[in-house]
Chain A
Amino acid sequence: MGSILVVAEHRRGHLRAASLSAMSVGKELAGHPHSAWHILVMGKGISAVAEEAARYGAASVLSADHELLEHPVAQVSASVVAQATTAVEATFIVAPVTPWTKDFLPRVAARLGAGMVSDVVGYEIEGNTVVFQRTMYAGAVNAAVMITTAVKIICARPTAFPKAKPEERPSAIVPLSIEIYPASIGTTFLSYEDRPSERPDLTEAAIVVAGGRGTKGREGFQLLEELADLLGGAVGASRAAVDLGWVPADLQIGQTGKIVAPSLYFAVGISGAIQHVAGMKDSKVIVAINKDPEAPIFQVATYGLVADLFAAIPTFVEAVKQTKEA
């Protein structure tokens, strides 16, 4: 079997946590049977990132450091990965699931004639094949799939795998010289702009923290915002909170507002009127926090906590912070 190539993503000079999960997958796959695993980092001025990546015990860290890789378009990233794959004779390419990898990795698959499985949440090695697990139909179905091609590409869901731990021996950092012909690509990067809020868009977020009348206004919402930021989620609201002017109207979740289906939905201080429930009923896990044990929201919640949100949310935030540090 050939080697494993892990495509790592970085941001603001550091490896992203998601990449660490991909690395642990790569490392484990490399153990069965024994083969080498390598990490690829690409960008402009990324020596610090390469050094960081070198601390995780890979056979080598391929570093593609180039002007054109500051804002690479899909074909360019694909090109680099394809070249790196050849360089280390990889038969497995592992990447974390992120908007960046989702964008370009399929192109690598097409270029190399490789089968690609995205959003892998688990895998089993059966003899000399690997069976990957992923979900379909918004999490209702688990699929066990196999890749039939020689080169296999998988995108791993970060929350499903532990983060790789640093090791004693640093890896060798190998500069990867790449060939890119921008003129032939037909795509030009123009600009990038941060979203006004760091938070993900309500309809796209995997985690949503929503507040209703129980928040009693801005103070309550501030607690929710803290929780949302901690979890990397978006903030939403029931119609009541919007009507009372506590939050802008584009945060309204409901039949006549936005319809969301995140993996995790917090309904805090929300009674659960049907018009609201209609907007979030397809969420995979619903947590209800409400003082009133009779509130209809408890009928749709996966987990219900009868508590005062002003006590419960700060405690929860603290607890989450502690686990993150662990």
Chain B
Amino acid sequence: MAPPTREIFGNILPNLRLAFYVLSALATLIFSYGVFKRIALYRAGRSERIAGAFGQRVMLVLEHGLGLKRLRRDPFAFLMHQFIFWGFVVLFIGTVIVALEHHGRLGIYRGPFYVAVSFLLDLFGLLFMIGLGMAAYRRWWVGRERFRTAPEDLGTLLLLFAIATSGFVLEGFRIAASGFPVSEWWSFVGYALAEVFSALGLEGPSLWRAHLYVWWAHAFLALGFIALLPFTKLLHMFTSPANIAVASLAPKGALTPVSLQEVEERGTVGLESLHDLSWRHRLALDACTRCERCQEVCPAYHSGTPLTPMGLVQQMRRRLADHPSPERRGRLPGEVISSDELWACTTCRACVEHCPVLIDHLELIVGMRRSLVAEGNLYDASARTTLTNIAGSSNPWGFPQEDRGKWAEGLSVKTMKEVGGADVLFWTGCFASYDPRAQRIARAFVKALQRAGVDFAILGNEERCTGDPARRIGEEFLFQERAGANIETLNRYRFDQIITSCAHCFNTLKNEYPQFGGRYTVRHHSEFLADLVREDKLPLKANLEEALTYHDSCYLGRYNEVYDPPREVLACLAGRRPLEMASLRERGLCCGGGGGHMWMEYKAEKRINHMRLDEALATKAQVVATACPYCLHMLEDAVKAKDLDGSLEVKDIAELIADRLE
């Protein structure tokens, strides 16, 4: 008996085969043209160098591109995409095998191999269709309120569905028409369809005719798919993994510096126009599949501002598509993206953290902010006051620099000026230095340090604002100037590590100061306290009675992945793990103070800090523990606004520890 196989192009006569090849060539040409145009668009962008690290990049593609790491929390979507993806891949491989078999006359497509492949193709084809069904269900049923659907979304789904359906139907006709060969039983879907067709009374010639028509339909659809690919979101098959591959490998919390020299050469600062978008930015814009995950987690979006990260990306992509030539310089901030949108961002990084294809929306937003600020356009006068104060008085409020160390008076705290060095440098930060409420955090932390016998010193009035607010607002050079000054001061003294109680200072000192030569071991006070607690250096009184919940600070959590140490500390205090709010850890809801919002009067429908407080209230906790003075301030503001002073307290982890020290 002849080994199981099937005749490739069986029903297709030579002249039709020729027609097919011509069409294929045409489709390939259109595809190539589309791809070529895209690549030209990227190359028209500003040049940008990326770090090598080939191995790391391959891992990223495997992790995110194949492993869909960011979809793990959404099992439905994870499966859906895997079905579609692997279904497509296997079907594609199947087509390649068939092509090789036919043109290369390999003679492998027979026998057990043939049967195995046929089975797999049917299985994965089915999974593919199930995946498509899941996608349709997700977008048009479950998410009908949530998703904004473009005609393209429906179109591509239908196209893929049609290709898969026609493929199976085709198979069914072939199996029926070729008399149900036994081995075809393994192509179970096709076999089942074949039985249906048979049952409908179709026979031999009519089956072959039907097969022919469906074959051409399938061919048109498939070739159409290939031709249209570069012009639709289907391009993400290439652009998304590509974007993942070229993702920034710099620490998450570090914004990219730009030198004055670069600015002088380029003549622009930040992303002023489409012309300033680098090839990497342009690729990122193409990688977006409109999955809306970024939007879902965006506090600015949920508080009723015009900003949505996905909207921003799509608007820029469309504008770029309309004006591909570099001579046409559409102004980005102000024209393509409104300044209201740009200032609405709190730089919480939820969008970047949740994007499955690693688009960095924040880089785009800050890039455009830099351009606005370079022309003197700030959101409001208070942002201006803040920047001029940071420049003139080294703190956002304009308090005298001489008063900066006064919070420590009477606490026997050494200054670096006095001692020249210590094991630990406690970086206090502007809030804890000047704000009476936040000064309590510093004093509490000092109490803990002294109790644990830690050798530490502060900079006192040699400490100056890290410049973080300036960088987030987009006044990059003021930030660099502040960083340079602080690094000079820091380099005068000896210390093993810098500990800070502010998440913003922590992030900047740790991840951004190295950009300017300031390389220090920097840790957050919650990490240090967790160590001290673990080492039994902080004897604590018996368990805290009040119910505690913990608010993840964006700059501590998402930016630096410090989620557990604060929780450990709280667990030790309370004898049980703290209650968790609905949005926790990577999904933590911002307090609303970042991105310069502490320093601007941004008008929105809802207040982000109120939204976060509502989550805290839902846990029924009596104390909200924070690890950053910005978060403390914003949440206390919300408590006051809702008149909840009696029932809910907001306290820093250091305060909670100091209160319970024996």
A and B touch in the complex (CB under 8 A): yes
Please state if B385 and A273 are interface contacts (CB–CB under 8 Å).
Answer: no
Cβ-defined contact, A213 with B640, below 8 A: yes
Partner of A257, one of B382, B437, B641: B382
**Does A243 interact with chain B (Cβ within 8 Å)?**
yes
- Contact string, B617-642, partner A, CB cutoff 8 A, digits 1/0? 00000000000000001001100110
A212 → B minimal CB distance (Å): 9
A236 at the interface (CB under 8 A from B): no
- CB-CB under 8 A from B598, the residues of chain A are 275
Contacts A256-B600, A256-B601, A273-B633 given; indicate if A281 touches B397 (C-beta within 8 A): yes
What is the minimal beta-carbon distance from B635 to any residue of chain A, in angstroms? 13
B109 within 8 A of A: no
Query: Is B438 a contact partner of A243 (Cβ separation < 8 A)?
Result: no
B386 on interface, CB distance cutoff 8 Å: yes
In chain A, what residue has the closest Cβ to B603? A249
Q: Which residues of A contact B438 (CB under 8 A)?
A: 274
In the complex, how many residues of chain B place their beta carbon closer than 8 angstroms to a beta carbon of chain A? 23
Q: A300's closest neighbor in chain B, by CB?
A: B436
Question: Is A278 located at the chain interface by the 8 A CB criterion?
Answer: yes
Indicate whether A255 reaches chain B with its CB closer than 8 angstroms.
yes
Complex Cα distance, B603 from A243, in Å, reads 12
Answer whether A296 and B436 are a contact pair too, CB < 8 Å, given A243-B641, A256-B382.
yes
Q: A274-B434, A274-B435, A281-B397 are in contact. Are A255 and B385 (CB under 8 A)?
A: yes
B495 contacts partner chain A, Cβ-Cβ < 8 Å? no
With contact pairs A255-B599, A257-B601, A274-B438 given, residues A281 and B382 touching in the complex (Cβ less than 8 Å): no
CB of A274 within 8 A of CB of B641, answer no
Q: Which residues of B contact A213 (CB under 8 A)?
A: 640
Q: Which of A286-309 contact B (CB under 8 A)?
A: 296, 299
A208 within 8 A of B: no
Measured CA separation A213–B640 after assembly (Å): 8
Q: Are B396 and A299 in contact (CB under 8 A)?
A: no
Residues from chain B with Cβ under 8 Å of A257 in the complex? 382, 601
Q: Is B565 an interface residue (CB 8 A)?
A: no
Contact B599 A240 (CB under 8 A): no
A295 closest partner in B (C-beta)? B436
A255 & B382 in contact (Cβ 8 Å cutoff): yes
Q: Which residues of B contact A275 (CB under 8 A)?
A: 598, 633
> Which residue of the partner chain B has the closest CB to A271?
B640
- Residues on the B chain within 8 Å of A144, using CB: none
Bound: A100/B434 CA distance, A: 41
Interface of chain B: mostly helix, strand, loop or mixed: helix
- Could you tell me the distance between the alpha carbons of A187 and B385 in the complex, rounded to whole angstroms? 36
Using CB atoms, name the residue of chain B closest to A278: B397
Contacts of B396 in A (CB 8 A): 255, 278
Taking CB atoms, residues of chain B closer than 8 Å to A259 are: 385
Chain A CB within 8 A of B399 CB: yes
Decide if B431 is an interface residue (CB 8 Å cutoff).
Answer: yes
Shortest distance from the beta carbon of A210 to any chain B beta carbon, whole Å: 16
Chain A residues in 8 Å Cβ range of B437: 273-274, 296
Q: Does B398 contact A (CB under 8 A)?
A: yes
Chain A nearest CB: distance from B441 CB in Å? 13
A281 touching B399, Cβ below 8 Å: yes
A262 lies within 8 A of chain B by Cβ: no
Contacts of A43 in B (CB 8 A): none
Q: Count residues of A near B (Cβ-Cβ below 8 Å).
A: 18
Selected from A274, A277, A299, the residue in CB contact (under 8 A) with B431 is A274
B540-598 contacts to A (CB < 8 Å): 598
Q: Which residues of B contact A240 (CB under 8 A)?
A: 637, 640-641
In whole angstroms, how far apart are the Cα atoms of A115 and B386 in the complex? Answer: 40
- Is residue A272 within 8 Å, beta carbon to beta carbon, of the partner chain? yes
CA distance A272 to B437 in the complex (A): 9
Residues of A close to B380: CB separation below 8 A: 256
| CB < 8 Å neighbour of A244 from B386, B436, B641 | B641
- Residues of chain B within 8 A (CB-CB) of A296 are 435-437
Nearest CB of chain B from residue A65's CB, rounded to whole Å: 46
Determine the residue in chain A with the shortest Cβ distance to B389: A278
Q: How far is the CB of A259 from chain B (nearest CB, A)?
A: 7
Chain B nearest CB, measured from A211 CB (Å)? 14
- Report how far A259 CA is from B384 CA in the complex, Å: 12
Q: Which A residues touch B641, using CB under 8 A?
A: 240, 243-244
| Residue of A275, A281, A296 contacting most chain B CB atoms (<10 Å) | A275
With a CB–CB cut-off of 8 A, which chain B residues contact A243?
Answer: 641
Question: In whole angstroms, what is the CA distance A322 to B409 when docked?
Answer: 43
A256/B599 in contact, CB under 8 A: yes
Residues 212-250 of A at the B interface (beta carbon under 8 Å): 213, 239-240, 243-244
Decide if A274 touches B436 in the complex (CB within 8 Å): yes
In the complex, what's the smallest C-beta–C-beta distance from B634 to chain A, in angstroms?
A: 10
Asked whether, in the complex, the Cβ of B633 is within 8 Å of the Cβ of A255, the reply is no
Neighbouring B residues of A274 by C-beta, 8 Å:
397, 431, 434-438, 633
Within 8 A of A (CB), among B393-427: 396-399
Query: How far, in Å, is A250 (CB) from chain B's closest CB?
Result: 11
Residues of A within 8 A of B636 (CB): 273
Please indicate the chain B residues that have their CB under 8 angstroms from the CB of A256 in the complex. Answer: 380, 382, 599-601
Please, how many angstroms separate the alpha-carbon atoms of A213 and B636 in the complex?
A: 13
**Which chain A residues lie closer than 8 Å to B385 at the CB level?**
255, 259
Which residue from chain B places its CB closest to the CB of A238 in the assembled complex?
Answer: B640
Min CB distance B594 to A, Å, is: 15
Taking CB atoms, residues of chain A closer than 8 Å to B399 are: 278, 281
Which residues from A are CB-within-8-Å of B601? Answer: 256-257
Nearest Cβ in chain A — how far from B100, in angstroms? 67
Within 8 A of A (CB), among B498-547: none
Residues A299 and B436 in contact, CB atoms below 8 Å apart: yes
Q: How far is the CA of A256 from the CA of B436 in the complex (A)?
A: 18
- With both beta carbons as reference points, the residue of chain A lying nearest to B440 in the complex is identified as A296
Please, how many angstroms separate the alpha-carbon atoms of A273 and B630 in the complex? 12
- Please indicate the chain A residues that have their CB under 8 angstroms from the CB of B434 in the complex: 274
| A313: min CB distance to chain B, Å | 21
Which residues of chain A are near B382, meaning CB under 8 Å? 255-257
Chain B residue nearest in CB terms to A259: B385
A199 to nearest B CB, angstroms? 22
Q: Complex Cα distance A256/B597, Å?
A: 10
CA distance A213 to B643 in the complex (A): 9
In the assembled complex, the Cα of A239 lies from the Cα of B396 at a distance in Å of 18
A305 shortest CB reach to chain B, Å: 18
Cross-chain pairs A/B with CB under 8 angstroms, 5 sampled: A243-B641, A256-B380, A278-B398, A281-B398, A281-B399
- B residues with a Cβ closer than 8 A to A are 380, 382, 385-386, 396-399, 431, 434-438, 598-601, 633, 636-637, 640-641
Q: Which A residues form the contact surface with B (CB < 8 A)?
A: 213, 239-240, 243-244, 255-257, 259, 272-275, 277-278, 281, 296, 299
Closest 10 CB pairs of A and B: A296-B436, A274-B435, A278-B397, A256-B601, A256-B382, A243-B641, A240-B640, A299-B436, A255-B382, A296-B437
Q: A243-B641, A274-B435 are in contact. List 15 more A-B contacts (CB 8 A).
A: A240-B641, A255-B382, A255-B396, A256-B380, A273-B435, A273-B636, A273-B637, A274-B397, A274-B431, A274-B437, A274-B438, A275-B633, A278-B396, A281-B398, A299-B436
